[in-house]
Amino acid sequence: MSEDDGDRAGFAAASEDKHRERMQRKKELIDRKVARATIERGVLVVNTGNGKGKSSSGFGMLARSLGHGFKCGVVQFIKGSFATGEEAFFRRFEELDYHVMGEGFTWETQDKQRDIAAAQAAWAVAARMLGDEAYDFVLLDELNIALAHRYVAVDDVLAAVAARPPRQHVVITGRGAPDALIEAADTVTDMRVVKHAFKAGIKAQKGVEL
C-alpha cells in the first residue's frame, strides 16, 4: 500500500468513526424523546394550507388504519360532483363507512343555501361517527372549507371532537382551518405551494388529483 493509499484509508476510517459518533448521539436523543412519549390516546390531526396533499395525507392514514384492522369512517364535505380514485378504491373495504356528502365546489354549485344544506347533512353523519366508540379512525375531508364558509359551526365541531371516544383518531382536511381548530389539534400540517402543474396549464390527472 502506498503512502497516499494509507492516508486515504486513515481519512475514511476517521470519517466513519465521526459518523458513527454523530449517529450514536442522535440515537440517544431520539430514544430519550421516545421514552418520554408515554400517553396513548386518540389524536386530532389537521391538514390545511394552500398546497397539494391535504386529502392525500388523510387517505394515507386511512390506509394505515385499515391495515391495522380498524373500523373507519370517511365523510367528504364539498367534494362529490366527480368520481375520485380514493372513493373507487376504499369502498371495497368492509371495515369502512364511506360517505360522499358534498355537491361540488362552491363556485360550481353557485347556490349558498344548497351548499349549507349539504354541509349540515354531512356534519350530521360526521357527528354520529365522532360519538360512536365503534369507530377507531374518522376522516373528515374538506371540513375546513365548510368551517371557513361558516356552513358548519366551529364550536359544534370542537365540542364533538372533545367529547369523542378517548382512543378515536380524527383527521380534518381542507384549506383555511380556523384558529380554534388548530389550537385544539394535536398535530397540524400547513401544506405550502412551491409549484403546481395546474399553473402551467396541465389539467387534473387521474391518480394525482382525481
| pLDDT, tens digit (0-9, with 9 covering 90-100), for 45-58 | 999 999 999 999 99
**What value does the mean pLDDT take over residues 75-81?**
78
Question: Locate cell 395525507: which residue?
Answer: 57
Strands 44-49 and 72-76, by their bridges, are unpaired
Residue spans of alpha helices (H) in the chain? 3-36, 54-67, 85-90, 106-109, 112-130, 143-148, 154-162, 179-184
Contact status, residue 158 vs residue 184, Cβ threshold 8 Å? yes
What CATH architecture does domain 41-200 belong to?
A: 3-Layer(aba) Sandwich (3.40)
pLDDT, residue 157, reads: 98
Nearest-angstrom CA–CA distance, 70 and 134: 9
Please tell me the predicted confidence (pLDDT) of residue 107.
Answer: 46
Mean pLDDT over 197-209 rounds to 76
pTM: 0.81
